[in-house]
Structure 1
């Protein structure tokens, strides 16, 4: 496969706090590679094969970069902008909910740690998924995704699209 997605970074004005937030919300390892400037979030494990066994493909990792100086960059001062985005549309990060976790626990933990829940309990028929969304304390939209099954099992209280 060409041009494979291997990694993505999200901005934060406090990577240490963001690393702790994601470790508690999702149970990921917080690897403070450049503590205070850059953290790597390591979900761990491998993507599953169709039979449920682990493949040889490791899960993608996420970086958290200090918005005032996103690295790497040839200039030690980095490049503008050096502030958090506000009021505009940013990327949405999609997280598949583990079978051993629940959206209720994830949303409650995120909210307790300063996130804002945008919606709960929505079914998107186009991709047959149950979804929920929150904005982390740094303005990043985090989409939680659950498989609805075949045939889909959509709870009565879910909105539908």
Structure 2
């Protein structure tokens, strides 16, 4: 059995505000543990079986933590660094666009809540995805991935690689 990825954490100096952002943009449930300290964003649903039915495995979760005192940690007062990294590349989070949603709605909702759209309308043939990206108000980069189909249906005007 391989080691299994179960969570990815995003830093935010206001975890409650970041949780509201993701709840409003993606419709994820905010499961704060405790409020303002650590928020587990629960996208809901289960991974699909090959036949399309739901498996018993829940979708991955995203955590939001405050870098001023990143929990969990053995030291109750936390340790340095206590700020969000500002320079250079950071990890990116990829989000699959649901069949009942659109990248336009997601990007618009994110932008209305303080995000910056980084790029839109790009086809990446390596993973057969229609991609778009934004930076949330805390500097985290989110890449949206849409299914292009088999064979891929790439809309006119998309850049390609």
Q: Same fold (TM over 0.5)?
A: yes
Tell me how far apart the structure 1 counterparts of residues 138 and 29 of structure 2 sit (CA, whole Å).
19
| Residue equivalent to 2:60 | 60
Residues 66-94 of structure 1: per-residue CA shift (max 9 Å, x gap) = 11011010111112110011121100000
Tell me how far apart the structure 1 counterparts of residues 137 and 117 of structure 2 sit (CA, whole Å).
11
Tell me by how many angstroms 1:154 deviates: 0.1
| Residue equivalent to 1:103 | 103
Tell me by how many angstroms 1:31 deviates: 1.1
With structure 1 as the length reference, what TM-score do the two structures score? 0.98
Residues 78-121 of structure 1: per-residue CA shift (max 9 Å, x gap) = 12110011121100000000000000000000000000000000
Hey, which bits of structure 1, 4+ residues long, moved more than 4 A?
Answer: none
Name the SS for the 1:30 alignment partner: strand
Q: Which runs of 5+ in 1 are unaligned?
A: none
Residues 2-55 of structure 1: per-residue CA shift (max 9 Å, x gap) = 111011111000001000000000000011111111111000110112222111
| Residue equivalent to 2:91 | 91
| Residue equivalent to 1:78 | 78
Task: Indicate the RMSD between aligned Cα atoms, in angstroms.
Answer: 0.7
Tell me how far apart the structure 1 counterparts of residues 25 and 101 of structure 2 sit (CA, whole Å).
11
Q: Which runs of 5+ in 2 are unaligned?
A: none
Q: How many residues align?
A: 161
| Residue equivalent to 1:145 | 145
Name the SS for the 2:4 alignment partner: coil
Name the SS for the 1:19 alignment partner: helix
Q: Counterparts in 2 of 1:19-38, with a 5 A limit?
A: 19-38=19-38
